[in-house]
């Protein structure tokens, strides 16, 4: 593991950490947010191999950590427990430069991890990991307003408790880190996350920065169902 992390750090430096990778074509058509084309539809049909999933995930763990819990400061999102279809879509979008992620891009490429089979293997593995019992939360100072906004603007897609939808590719947002969600929400609102769902963009277009903080703070505090959460201090037994 130490060796891998070092390789990642070195490659990051030489890849110009933080610089932006020039993006592919703009997503302009409303239905373009989820065409299902390319690697996504291929990966969804493959039977996952758990052993290879564990091997591939070791690359990812350099940033998303071995438990898949990401970082409370929001630099790296939690991946553990996310819907498999959502993970496949986001990974395929990142590889196809349909979602900008210059930090992760070089490590997500076929040269680094393999083809669609690797996508199927690693996403199946990640989706089954138990979730972080201590995700990052907001200031907690405007939760009633946040709850009202959530109920009126988010439930129809992300569900009553932020559970999302595997079938519809709506991300699970319960248990996700506040700072990560705040960044994504702002990017979606301001048109910077190019693979965003256009109906969400419309729904949140009128949100002020205070509305945004309130609703994300509320979201970050929605309790995750007990059966999906790891015990405090859990360490991933698949690596040692």
| Dist. CA 232–CA 221, nearest whole Å | 17
Give the CA distances from residue 64 to residues 28, 39, 70, 72, 79, in Å, rounded to whole numbers and listed in that order.
Answer: 31, 22, 4, 11, 7
Residue 85 or 230: the one with the smaller Cβ distance to ligand HEC is: 85
Q: Hey, which residues between 209 and 228 contact ligand HEC (CB under 6 A)? A: 215-216, 219
Q: Which of 83, 89, 189, 213 binds ligand HEC (CB under 6 A)?
A: 89
Q: Which of 204, 214, 222, 224 binds ligand HEC (CB under 6 A)?
A: 204
Q: Taking CB under 6 A as the rule, does residue 137 contact ligand HEC? A: no
Residue 60 or 224: the one with the smaller Cβ distance to ligand HEC is: 60
Q: Tell me which DSSP letter residue 34 carries.
A: G
Give the CA distances from residue 184 to residues 43, 93, 112, 171, 228, in Å, rounded to whole numbers and listed in that order.
Answer: 25, 15, 26, 12, 23
CB of residue 184 vs ligand HEC: minimum separation in angstroms? Answer: 4
Helices and strands: H and E segment counts in the chain: 12, 0
Q: Cβ distance 92 to 105 under 8 Å? A: no
Q: Which of 69, 171, 177, 214 binds ligand HEC (CB under 6 A)?
A: 171
Q: Which residues here bind ligand HEC, judged by CB under 6 A?
A: 8, 12, 56, 59-60, 62-64, 76-77, 79, 87, 89-91, 101, 103-104, 107-108, 113, 122, 149, 153-154, 156-158, 169-171, 173, 181, 183-185, 193, 195-197, 199-200, 203-204, 215-216, 219
């Amino acid at each position: 593991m130490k060796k891998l992390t070092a390789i990642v750090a070195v490659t990051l430096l030489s890849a110009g950490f933080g610089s932006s990778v020039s993006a592919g074509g703009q997503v302009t058509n409303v239905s373009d947010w989820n065409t299902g084309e390319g690697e996504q539809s291929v990966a969804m049909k493959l039977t996952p191999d758990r052993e290879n999933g564990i091997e591939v995930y070791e690359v990812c763990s350099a940033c998303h950590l071995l438990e898949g819990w990401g970082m409370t400061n929001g630099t790296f999102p939690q991946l553990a427990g996310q819907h498999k279809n959502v993970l496949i879509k986001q990974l395929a979008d990142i590889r196809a430069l349909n979602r900008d992620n210059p930090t992760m891009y070089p490590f997500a490429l076929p040269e680094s991890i393999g083809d669609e089979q690797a996508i199927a293997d690693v996403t199946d593995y990640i989706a089954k990991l138990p979730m972080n019992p201590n995700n990052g939360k907001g200031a907690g100072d405007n939760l009633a307003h946040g709850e009202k906004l959530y109920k009126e603007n988010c439930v129809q897609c992300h569900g009553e408790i932020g559970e999302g939808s595997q079938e519809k590719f709506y991300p699970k947002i319960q248990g996700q880190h506040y700072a990560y969600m705040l960044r994504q929400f702002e990017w979606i609102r301001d048109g910077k996350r190019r693979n965003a769902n256009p109906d969400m963009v419309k729904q949140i277009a009128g949100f002020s920065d205070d509305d945004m903080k309130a609703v994300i703070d509320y979201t970050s505090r929605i309790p995750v169902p007990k059966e999906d959460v790891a015990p405090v201090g859990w360490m991933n037994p698949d690596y040692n």
